[in-house]
Structure 1
Amino acid sequence: MATDYILFVHGVNTRDERETPKFAESLIKGLNQELGQDRTSNIVYIPLYWGDANLNAENRLRKQLQASPLWKDMWFRDFREQQLLQFAGDAALYISRHLGYKVVKRLKEDAIARIQDPQPGDCLHLVTHSWGTVILFDVLFAGRWNNPDAPGHKDVMAIRDAIFGLAGNDKNPLQGMPLASLHTMGSPVAIFSLTNVSSDADDSEELASTVPSTHDITPRLKELLKSLYERRGQKKLPWRNYIHPGDPIAYPLDELMSSLVDQDEQYIDFEDLLSHDRKLLDIISIPLRQTVVALLQGGKAHGSYWESDRVVKEIASFFKPAVAREVVSSK
């Protein structure tokens, strides 16, 4: 029987505490209960935990802020010290490669090492949350890792070599583990896509052609999607984007992904989905949804995907016999 590997990549909790090494346990438990013995393959869960990689730098900055005589006068101190500092701090340090190198190393050692030698029929499913989506896309597709002198370069190239449709160290891109589905939860990719822009419409064509963004994920993502499309017998890659309306980090991605990498809607079977029942969400009145009160509860919404029945059922549907399993054997 073939094996489905499900890689979970967490993001930033945006609540009082960071994610723990057991961050995916609720979702994994839900998947096992939903599937029971009714599955088409062996399933191997691979949670990638990187949440403690930035603790020292974060704690150091927090102490420096608290040392200011003005800090006690600041509004929303808890929000500033926890949610905002975690999200913005991880973003800044990851982009600067301080945190990026640590995360890349863990991804290679803890996750990629387990999918190095795929057997016929094996495939990979990606489940990413929040900033974890940005991290994974950056590692797989961004040009900033191409410099051989960049910290983490060798690990990134090894990670790309392990995925079908990508090439790192000049390896054949048509080898490696093929993706079978992609699931993004509370994703800020829409915001991060602004770093892909090489120039504004008012900039000269010469500038646009000579100053590409090193954070641009689109060229390699297009190559991957095209390779998977051909390998899957001209069938689209399923991509589900889960959104809680009260999550300030989550954005719809359908139109964005179409404009960036799939203008002809040829390669991606994309769908934005609410992560919770609409009737339950409608309990919150429309005026209240736009207030600061709702925003301050956004951290709870942002972390809710791991326990969402709707997320569980949608992901589990890809492993049930009732759904055609569109996987091409690994070679």
Structure 2
Amino acid sequence: MPKDYVLYIHGVNTREERESPNYADELITLVAEQTDGLGLEVVPLPLYWGDVNRAEEERLLSRFRASKIWNKMWFRGFRELQMLQFAGDAALYISRYIGSKVVKTLREQAIEGVNGQPGFNQLEPGDRLHLVTHSMGTVILFDVLFAARWDQPDIPAYREAQEIRNAIFGLEPHTDLGVRLASIHTMGSPVAIFSLMNVVSGPDQERGVAELSWEQRVRVATHDVTPQLQKLLANLGGRLPWLNYIHPGDPVAYPLDPLIFDLVDGERRHLEVEDILATRNDLFGSVIDLAFDQTEFALLNGGTAHNSYFSNPGVAAHIAGAVKAAARQG
């Protein structure tokens, strides 16, 4: 029987504590409640990279605290925890050193198995993959799968990045091997902001040219995901469902429609993108109740909204719906 692998990858926790390795447990349980008894074999694969950056950020924090004026700064708790974790994780991942450590961590978990469950080394014909990414985890996973910076054989983690890509059907260099991607689910994702890394400066920008040429991407824009993402979508054929969950009180979440089509040069025939506004209690429609009243929202408490997706039955309903739809299509 074909398996449906649901791969979870967390982002940055904007509350006081970092994500724990069991961050996805509640959402996994909610999805299982809606898929059990249907004759489906759903295999959750939660990946965890949250402790990779800890030492570097703690070292930086110790330097801040050594400042003579640090104790006079406002919002020290916010600066030391939420702000440092979010901005710090983003900056560190972009670096080759920490980025490579994250890629190696993801490879070990995804390919060799997570918590004793069979990993991608147990793939069989007909198996399907559903990606569920949160926050910075979207940026990280897209970077590993599509960015040109992992195409250079002389960089750290090149081999690990290629092994991850080889596990996905439609990705180069072995486009006919691996598990087929069946759906994408992004929760509280800032991937729209990171698309600014592809913007061209100078006269081209003034004329409205927002992307580099293919040759320029290969030589210069090593963080650009456009070429490889385009190829994957073309190789998959059909239309890939992409659900982007947004809580209006989540300061990290941004809409993807129509922006995401800019990342694939306006190609719409291979993507079915929907931004799901998480505000009310219609669990089976296009909006989701995340039990958070926007009138009580304050910016410094935005972490409540940003981390609420993992405990919401509506999000789970949509993920389970995508799994069931993929199984029906075969």
Q: TM-score range by the shorter chain?
A: 0.7 to 0.9
- Could you report, residue by residue, the CA deviation over 1:131-168 in whole angstroms, capped at 9, with x for unpaired residues? 0000000000001111111111111111111111112x
State the Cα RMSD in Å: 2.2
Return the offset for 1:31: 1.2
TM-score (normalised: structure 2): 0.88
Map 1:37-186 onto structure 2 (within 5 A): 37-38=37-38, 40-113=39-112, 114-167=119-172, 170=173, 172-186=174-188
CA deviations over 1:73-119 (Å, ceiling 9, x no partner): 10110110001100111111110122211111111111133113521
Matched residue of 1:79: which SS? helix
Contact 1:117 1:176 in 2 (8 A): no
Q: SS at the partner of 1:18?
A: coil
After the TM superposition, which segments of 4 or more aligned residues of structure 1 sit over 6 Å from their partners? 279-282
Q: Give the residue type in structure 2 aligned to 1:299.
A: G
| Residue 226 of structure 1: aligned partner | 234
Judging changes above 3 Å, is the alpha-carbon distance between structure 1 residues 317 and 203 closer, same or farther for their aligned structure 2 residues? closer
Supply the distance in 1 between the matched residues of 2:169 and 2:200 (Cα, whole angstroms).
28
Report the Cα offset of residue 32 of structure 1. 1.7
CA distance, structure 2, for counterparts of residue 61 and residue 254 of structure 1: 37
Q: In structure 1, what is the equivalent of residue 318 of structure 2?
A: 314
C-alpha deviation, 1:262, in angstroms: 6.0
**Identity %, equivalent residues:** 52
Alignment CA distance shift 1:299-1:256 (3 Å): same
- Correspondence for 2:116: none
For the structure 1 residues 151 and 159, does the alpha-carbon distance in structure 2 shift closer, same or farther, using more than 3 Å as the test?
Answer: same
User: Shift of residue 284 of structure 1?
Assistant: 3.6
Please name the residue that 2:199 is paired with. 197
Aligned residue for 2:245, secondary structure, equals: strand
Q: Could you tell me which residue of structure 2 aligns to residue 304 of structure 1?
A: 308
CA–CA distance in structure 1, aligned partners of residues 20 and 134 of structure 2: 14
Query: In structure 1, what is the Cα distance between the partners aligned to 2:323 and 2:208?
Result: 49
Answer yes or no: is the 8 Å Cα contact 1:198–1:211 preserved in 2: no
Aligned residue in 2 for 1:9: 9
What corresponds to 1:31 in structure 2?
31
Gaps of 5+ in 1: 230-234
Structure 2 spans left out of the alignment, 5+ residues: 113-118, 282-288
| Structure-1-length-normalised TM-score | 0.87
Paired positions, count: 310
Closer/same/farther in 2, CA of residues 239 and 72 from structure 1, 3 Å limit: same
Cα deviation 1:220-275 (Å, max 9, x = unaligned): 0000011111xxxxx21111000011000000001111222162420011111123
Contact 2:249 2:294 in 1 (8 A): no
Q: State the AA in 2 paired with 1:96.
A: S
